[in-house]
Structure 1
């Protein structure tokens, strides 16, 4: 899946949403002030910096808490959601005999909160694995261990491998081999020599040495292992595509017959490797970066056996450190501090709650929606989705840059959207996961192994399009190109995105823009390359595709002008899909809003017109403070632009915003009408 709406990149296709009233909200009407002037900075002209005008005082009064890396609307909702999970899990841990779901999540939580038992075990849970890896005597054993580690839930050493729909035959699962094998957040951290990158590399080297020391290595061996890992990972990083290159679905679609993989990697015995990875590969596989795979083959013979042992031991250590004794947890966090600037460790209860949401999300999700989600919100959301879909249809029909033949195919795709709202119709039961109350590491291991087995056993099965890419408590939303679906988990249906008590302007500026955002992902620079059935294929005339590309290039240029941190700017190409989705989504939401009674009546609320409240509702979704280290990392790795760019970016292309706030030439955000970009 691809493109999440939230500020953080997710492996899903598009996210942005709203909804406090979907849950147990304020008991007294009027408790929420949906557009609060106390959060605004009225000394800033809307036309100079609308984001600061809408959020300036809030930004001054809400610094990043010590245990966070940023703090904004999404983060506040996540904090509230995590407290709900804590309440549910604490109760489940006390009432584990109630039912299977309660038993499993309660026991998992109890084991994760038993710090004394975790401390007593030290690194005993992985000691046997480290000993086995230290005894490797051949390159064949290296390959066997690369398979064994992933089947045992210890990450994905050397390369990535997953089972997913074939992008050109989306009803069929296929084995997909991808670039990977590195630890740092992006390949550039290994390759650039700017002060940030070199500082992080040196901290990484120090971190590696300290981690190996924690499992008994002497200083000389720990330093040697650290050097080996950095050499291997740097070689892998050099062969990786950039994040911008990874946005080209055709560049990543390279199908090989299994028997022909030897042309890429003569040193790999793929039939044996697939067998060891417990996957029946069929007759062909997809390789997203053939050159990367060639590099792994060269490294297999060029790198010494001792270096490979160090690399494999590191894969065990880094994947398990958060679940071992405190020395490992703290050392892992100390390196996180260098990467993100985070000052305090996230509380244990919050880390464990998030882990259970990831590992047993459908079990926890069932309890969550029973307790906190109002069923009527699901129907209200469906009504809004249908409204936005109808408006999008009208807009496509009116496009002056697209031919009728491409419009027909665009409408076919729009009408084929699958809509998922709040939670799955069928819950996963996680049969086969063994959860005990007294062994946290074993529970993590059991969950990881189950998840891997669940993935590889999909081969040969029909593609399950009922599966969700997010859990119900998630504060996000997404679009999936292979399923041509839009999904809105229950967690995002809260204020400032959505509230039953809010006026339409606020809801359309929030959740309406989220819905439009996800829909537009089906027509952004990546999504537009998949057809109504989800298959990767060209359904555009060349002339229309060229016009789209010209308009998209305008958006790239616009966002690359946003300066975020000292010399750092937004990467317009990396963030293009999200920026196109914001631009399209906000336009669709505003037009849908103009059909409402509130817009037609034109009455002011708290001194603001309906149109002003719509744009203020949009801007307040994006208020966020971030630590400089985190911001620098996100600019490199996140396909979403920072909040200020997302708030200000789309509106300068919308005539309605200029009219609502009397934005004039000379204002810093003013863009001449002839230069405003209109796409969807």
Structure 2
């Protein structure tokens, strides 16, 4: 069977060539990290037919042998890169520790003090709860609902809140900042953790109730179990008011602008003036516009707030506060927090080592100061130049594809081309680094450092509220293994840490890089044209630019994709959700379709070489299958299905490739193969 499948691949290979024979493989150069040319051939399972399970075909042997470390919820390409990034951040810290104090820059001194303060576990244990005693006493002393609301709205305390409240970007005026309010208040990842009638979810709810009781007990509370039941009942009521994830994704539904005065009238049971009292936001006599998300949930939550006794709110705020500061408190708090959030939700059996957690803290607190050091040490200019060429070819492929789409009218096509031509890629690192001079760090005050960080970021946001939007600002740090599309900026951002092997390997075959980093770049660009991103025009404004007929056509195609993903069942009895994950599923399919075209453009009309029997097209698909290599703990997989807008990695592969005619040709996929789709059922967007 193995030999027959490989022969079939070779036959497809021959069938895909032009009249001229394929050129021989180029002479060996610097070795790729995986295999000789970028694919881990030993990690494949060629006993699996590509059409039966392409993810297993590409990653089956790897998956059988992969061991998830006890401090991780999953392992695979992304997690391995995160581990590498953490290792590199530790090297940077070692350099800072070895540097004489008088040679440290102010930012370097702050980074070192943050790190040393967090690593000093003996000092943290010795201080006990003293660093948080004043806040806990304040919570314990709350007597009125107005005081509760003021505590919730305090930007410096992180005690939990019924409402998310902050500064964003106005979706209908992408050059202006906005004040945003939406539903919040849940201690578990999503409303379904409170509402689903599922045995495993029910166990999670019981574990959460135990966590609440444990946190209350650590403060000396009596009757903690009974009080925990009341907090859980409160959060369950809050969960019922929350919108489903599919509706939270809807850009139109989540945009309900009103004045602050109108917000107060819409939800009068909540003391909004108390809530914003410490915010520093100039409300312009109540005429400040507020962008409200989950608008129908806001008044329901206000009613819940008004009828809930202050005593229950005190317990709720105490637990949320301790959850947010547990990592900087004595071990008993940290361990109790990890027991639920790390083990029950993530399946991890132990915490990451203290050094790893410390460098993550530096990245989350002073990410751009830390990232500047990361780039200088680990991201050479030539790496950025090669990625820029990839992006250029992928944008060119998009432009060519838009011009040839048969389902898009000329009127919509013109505006789609305008949007793609206005696209801005940010690669590697920002041009201007953030100024942290206003942020004070004390080696002996970890809780204070975290609170001052929150104050620093909040003050920065509020101070520029009525200034033009800084469109060069990054939303991720350079050591982050991730990427994003920013609708109001019409831009994609790829931090340095994701632009490394095996997602991007300068020594790998071009086809593999196109399948890996190219598909991810194509994915992010395509978010500008997914079911929500397509609602923003080339200037990043939430504004319909489609003809009614084109939108109906597009929606009909994407409904087919929803139906496909609804049918997948990663865990027994727990199906994936096609609607909440639709934007990401569209982007996966689009990114792969476009990167294949971009790879062909890069060949400049020349035939692709054959490497180890694999054609260029096949290697693009192999690179795509390998980039989403991942193995999950069941708890983590369940969390992702219920609360993540991304499909679990194996289904990002299985769900995308089966909609592409080129995949069927490349691997001779036939009717009867498990993932075969008849041509009329394949979703064609690009």
Report the TM range for the smaller structure's normalisation: over 0.9
Structure-1 separation of matches of 2:606 and 2:47: 30
Match of 2:172 in 1: 168
Match of 1:83 among 76, 87, 90: 87
1:49, distance to aligned residue in structure 2 (A):
0.8
Match of 1:617 in 2: 623
1:32, distance to aligned residue in structure 2 (A):
4.1
User: How high is the TM-score relative to the length of structure 2?
Assistant: 0.92
1:346, distance to aligned residue in structure 2 (A):
1.5
Pick which of 118-127 and 67-76 moved more.
118-127
Pick which of 295-304 and 567-576 moved more.
295-304
Structure-2 separation of matches of 1:334 and 1:360: 28
Match of 2:389 among 383, 391, 414: 383
The answer to whether the 8 Å contact 2:371/2:478 transfers is: yes
The answer to whether the 8 Å contact 2:270/2:303 transfers is: no
Match of 1:446 among 452, 464, 486: 452
1:329, distance to aligned residue in structure 2 (A):
0.7
Structure-2 separation of matches of 1:79 and 1:31: 16
Q: Does 1:186 align with 2:193?
A: no
Structure-1 separation of matches of 2:647 and 2:523: 14
- Structure 1 291/675 Cα, relative in aligned 2: closer, same or farther at 3 Å? closer
1:191, distance to aligned residue in structure 2 (A):
1.5
Match of 2:214 in 1: 210
Q: Does 1:241 align with 2:243?
A: yes
Kindly provide the CA deviation profile for residues 166-216 of structure 1, in whole angstroms up to 9, marking residues without a partner as x: 111111111110100111111111122321221111111111111111122
Kindly provide the CA deviation profile for residues 377-417 of structure 1, in whole angstroms up to 9, marking residues without a partner as x: 22222221111111101100100011000000111111111
1:599, distance to aligned residue in structure 2 (A):
8.2
1:144, distance to aligned residue in structure 2 (A):
2.1
Gap runs ≥5 in structure 2: 1-28
Structure-2 separation of matches of 1:475 and 1:137: 45
The answer to whether the 8 Å contact 1:274/1:280 transfers is: no
- Structure 1 591/231 Cα, relative in aligned 2: closer, same or farther at 3 Å? same
Structure-2 separation of matches of 1:509 and 1:574: 25
Match of 2:579 in 1: 573
Match of 1:53 among 41, 44, 57: 57
1:667, distance to aligned residue in structure 2 (A):
1.4
Match of 1:363 in 2: 369
1:480, distance to aligned residue in structure 2 (A):
0.6
Map 1:472-511 → 2, pairs under 5 A: 472-511=478-517
1:80, distance to aligned residue in structure 2 (A):
0.6
The answer to whether the 8 Å contact 2:238/2:301 transfers is: yes
Q: Does 1:410 align with 2:416?
A: yes
Map 1:20-39 → 2, pairs under 5 A: 29=31, 32-33=34-35, 34-39=38-43
Kindly provide the CA deviation profile for residues 613-654 of structure 1, in whole angstroms up to 9, marking residues without a partner as x: 111111001111100111111100111111111112221122
Match of 2:310 among 305, 309, 333: 305
Structure-2 separation of matches of 1:31 and 1:258: 55
Structure-2 separation of matches of 1:66 and 1:140: 44
Structure-2 separation of matches of 1:252 and 1:621: 33
1:136, distance to aligned residue in structure 2 (A):
1.9
Could you say what secondary structure the match of 1:46 adopts?
coil
Could you say what secondary structure the match of 1:565 adopts?
coil
Pick which of 519-528 and 205-214 moved more.
205-214
Q: Does 1:669 align with 2:675?
A: yes
User: How high is the TM-score relative to the length of structure 1?
Assistant: 0.93
Map 1:318-357 → 2, pairs under 5 A: 318-336=323-341, 337-357=343-363
Could you say what secondary structure the match of 1:182 adopts?
coil
Structure-1 separation of matches of 2:33 and 2:205: 49
Pick which of 192-201 and 633-642 moved more.
192-201
- Structure 1 28/223 Cα, relative in aligned 2: closer, same or farther at 3 Å? same
1:155, distance to aligned residue in structure 2 (A):
4.8
Match of 1:650 in 2: 656
Map 1:61-140 → 2, pairs under 5 A: 61-95=65-99, 96-97=101-102, 98-140=104-146
Match of 1:24 in 2: none
1:509, distance to aligned residue in structure 2 (A):
0.5
Match of 1:397 in 2: 403
The answer to whether the 8 Å contact 2:402/2:413 transfers is: yes
Match of 2:443 among 408, 429, 437: 437
1:28, distance to aligned residue in structure 2 (A):
5.6
1:513, distance to aligned residue in structure 2 (A):
0.8
Structure-2 separation of matches of 1:205 and 1:270: 29
1:276, distance to aligned residue in structure 2 (A):
2.2
- Structure 1 299/513 Cα, relative in aligned 2: closer, same or farther at 3 Å? same
Match of 1:5 in 2: none
Match of 1:13 in 2: none
Pick which of 110-119 and 453-462 moved more.
453-462
Count of aligned pairs between the two proteins = 650
Gap runs ≥5 in structure 1: 1-26
- Structure 1 494/670 Cα, relative in aligned 2: closer, same or farther at 3 Å? same
Kindly provide the CA deviation profile for residues 590-627 of structure 1, in whole angstroms up to 9, marking residues without a partner as x: 01111233983332212212111111111001111100
Kindly provide the CA deviation profile for residues 12-57 of structure 1, in whole angstroms up to 9, marking residues without a partner as x: xxxxxxxxxxxxxxx9645541122211111111111111011101
Runs (4 or more) in structure 1 with deviation over 6 Å come to: none
Pick which of 431-440 and 509-518 moved more.
431-440
The answer to whether the 8 Å contact 1:393/1:411 transfers is: yes
Could you say what secondary structure the match of 1:381 adopts?
helix
Match of 1:316 in 2: 321
